[in-house]
Amino acid sequence: MNDASSTLDATITGDLLIGGEAVAGRDNAFNAVDPKTAKPIDPPFKGGTTDDVAKACSLAADAFDAYRETTLEQRAAFLEAIATRILGLGDALIDRACTESGLPRPRIEGERGRTVGQLRLFASVIREGSWLGARIDRAQPERKPMPRADIRLRMIPLGPVAVFGASNFPLAFSVAGGDTASALAAGCPVVVKAHPAHPGTSELVGRAIQQAVKDCGLPAGVFALVGGSGNAIGGALVANPHIKAVGFTGSRRGGLALVAIAAVRPEPIPVYAEMSSINPLFLLPAALKARGATIGRDFIGSLTMGAGQFCTNPGLVLAVDGPDLEAFMTSASDTIQNAAALTMLTGGIQSAYKSGVEQLEGHKNVKTVARGQAEVGPVEARAGLFVTDLTSFLSDERLRDEVFGSSSLVVRCPDVGSLRVAAEALEGQLTATLQMDDGDHEVARSLLPVLERKAGRILVNGFPTGVEVCHAMVHGGPYPATSDPRSTSVGSLAIERFLRPVCYQDLAEALLPVSLQNTNALAIPRRIEGVIGKD
C-alpha cells in the first residue's frame, strides 16, 4: 500500500460503521465536549439502537468462519494495513483526539505510535505462529496394553468479540487498541462500542479499520463500530448471543455490570475487564535513607502525569515512619505545590475525582499534606497528597479505594515487618513497586511472595505509569484490578484471551488444519511427542 492510497478522507459524519458502510444512528443525538472549554464539538452523533447492535453482531458471526481461516500472512497484512491507514489520517486524527480529550499533542502522538506499534507487534506474532499451540502426538497402534490414537491440537478463535473503548486512552485502549488488535490477531471479528467522550476520534479510527477490511478483501462483518451516550448499547452488545468474549477498560462499577450481564446469558461468556487499581509504592529503608528526596520529587512527576488519569497511577505509598520518610514527604510536598492543575478527560471524571479527594480531606484519620495549584479551566483538577497511619489504613477499607486522578495516600508504618502486614491487606493490583537499594534485599525478599499474589507486574526503582508493549508485559492482575487474573490486556500474550483449544483424534490428513498436517507447511513451532521444533 503506497502513501497516496493510505490517505483517508478525515470527514467526521457522526455515523455508525456497520457492514462496510456508514449508517445513520436513530437514537438520541449527543456531542463530544471539549474538556478545556466545556463546550460541545460538532458534529452531533446519533446513537445506535439495539437493532444496530444486532445487525453488527449478526454480520460478525457471518464473517467468523471465513475470517478465522485466513492465512497467517493475510491476517498479519490486515493488521499492518490498519496501522498504515491510521497513520494516513495524519494531523486530522491528532487534532481531533486532542480536542476531545484535552490531552497534549505529544501525548496523543505517542499514543498513536503505540497503537500502530501494537498492531505491527501482533502482525509479527501471527506470522511466527507459536500462538496456534500446535501439538501432535502420533498414533501408537502397537502400544500395549492399549493402542494410542493419533491426537493433535491447535488453538482456534472464540468468535466475535465486543470491545469497549476506554475514556483515558482515546487511541491505544480504544477502537484500534490492544483489545481490538489482539482479538483480530486471534481471528475474531470485532464489534467496538465507541466511548462517548471521543466519538469523532473513534469514527476516524473506525473508518481506517473499515477501509483496511476492504483493502484486504475481507468480509465486511469483520469490524463494526457502534455508539451511544447511555448504557443500553453496551448492555445489548454483551447480551447478544453472537458475541463470545468481551474486552473492557474502565471503572469497577462498569466492568462488574458487564460481567453480570455476561454471566446470566443462556451461554455465559468471558469478560476481560480491567477495572480498579491503586498501584502501591513501597519505599524500603535503605533506598529511603539514601535518596528519599529524589524519590519524592520523581514520584510526584509520575502522580501528576496526564492529570493522574492512568490505570497504573501510584495512588498509595507505604514506608517506615521516621526522619528518612520526612525527607521524602518534604520533597513530595514541595513538588506537588508547584504542580499546575490539569484538564481531566470529562466532567464526570473530574466530579468523581473531586468527590474522592473530599472524602480523604474529610476523614478524621487522614491529614492533607499538600495540594497542587488551583484550577483555572472548567474541567481541571488539583493534585493532592495525603497521609495516614497503618492502624487507620487497616481498619477502614475506604482508604484502599481508587481515586482516579492525581491523588495519593502515604501510609506511615511503624516498622519493616508492618510493610508486609499492609501488603496483605491490599486488594488485587495491576502493579506493585519497590523503591530499593542493595541493603533492602531481605525486606524485598519478604514482600515478594505477597506482591506476587497481589499484583500482575512488580517494578523496581521505577514508577508504574507507562506500560511497555512487548512480549513479556503483563497488564492485568487479581480482582478487582481485572475480572480474570489469568490474562493480560497489553503485550503479545493478550492474544490468548480470545483463543480456545480443539483436539483432533484420528482425523484424516487431508481434513486436518494446515498447522497440524504431517508436513509443517507453515514452518511454525510445534510440540511433537512433547518436543518443540519446526518439524
Q: Does 481 have pLDDT greater than 70?
A: yes
**Catalytic residue positions, numbered:** 274, 311
Task: Indicate if the alpha-carbon torsion angle 458, 461, 464, 466 is positive or negative.
Answer: negative
Contacts of residue 144, defined as CB under 8 A and 6 or more positions apart, other chains included, come to: none
Which pLDDT does position 1 carry in this prediction?
42
**C-alpha cell recorded at residue 102:** 484535552
Q: Does 353 have pLDDT greater than 50?
A: yes
Mean pLDDT of the chain: 96
What is the CB neighbour count within 10 angstroms for residue 521? 9
Element at 435 (helix H, strand E): strand 429-435
Which pLDDT does position 534 carry in this prediction?
85
Question: In terms of DSSP bridges, do strands 316-320 and 16-18 run parallel, antiparallel, or are they unpaired?
Answer: unpaired
Q: Does 28 have pLDDT greater than 50?
A: yes
The DSSP annotation for 226-247 comes to E--SSSHHHHHHHH-TT--EEE
What does the pLDDT look like over 36-88, one tens digit per residue?
999 999 999 999 999 999 999 999 999 999 999 999 999 999 999 999 999 99
Which pLDDT does position 234 carry in this prediction?
96
Q: What is the mean pLDDT of residues 178-195?
A: 98
Which pLDDT does position 10 carry in this prediction?
85
What does the pLDDT look like over 132-152, one tens digit per residue?
999 999 999 999 999 999 999
Integer distance in angstroms from the first to the last C-alpha of the chain?
A: 34
Q: Does the domain made of 280-460 have the CATH classification 3.40.309.10? A: yes
Which pLDDT does position 440 carry in this prediction?
98
What does the pLDDT look like over 159-170, one tens digit per residue?
999 999 999 999
What does the pLDDT look like over 452-462, one tens digit per residue?
999 999 999 99
CA distance 348 to 340: 20
Q: What is the mean pLDDT of residues 175-190?
A: 98
Q: What is the mean pLDDT of residues 351-366?
A: 97
Please state the length of the chain.
Answer: 535
- The percentage of the chain sitting over the pLDDT mark of 90, rounded to a whole number, equals 96
- The percentage of the chain sitting over the pLDDT mark of 70, rounded to a whole number, equals 99
Q: Regarding the domain with residue range 3-275+486-497, which homologous superfamily does it belong to in the CATH classification?
A: Aldehyde Dehydrogenase; Chain A, domain 1 (3.40.605.10)
Please calculate the CA angle 272-273-277 and round it to the nearest 5 degrees.
135
The residue whose grid cell reads 534485599 is 441
Chain-centre distance of CA 35, in angstroms?
Answer: 23
Which pLDDT does position 4 carry in this prediction?
40
Q: Does 97 have pLDDT greater than 60?
A: yes
Give buried/exposed letters for 424-433 (b at 16+ CB in 10 A, else e): ebbbbbbbbb
Residue 2's pLDDT band, with cuts at 50, 70 and 90, is very low
What is the CB neighbour count within 10 angstroms for residue 355? 10
Cβ 492 vs Cβ 471: under 8 Å: yes
What does the pLDDT look like over 202-256, one tens digit per residue?
999 999 999 999 999 999 999 999 999 889 999 999 999 999 999 999 999 999 9
Ordered by start, the domain boundaries in the chain are: 3-275+486-497, 280-460
CA distance 74 to 260: 36
What does the pLDDT look like over 262-321, one tens digit per residue?
999 999 999 999 999 999 999 999 999 999 999 999 999 999 999 999 999 999 999 999
Residue 9's pLDDT band, with cuts at 50, 70 and 90, is confident
Which pLDDT does position 3 carry in this prediction?
43
Contacts of residue 276, defined as CB under 8 A and 6 or more positions apart, other chains included, come to: 251, 252, 402, 427, 480, 481
CA distance 221 to 62: 7
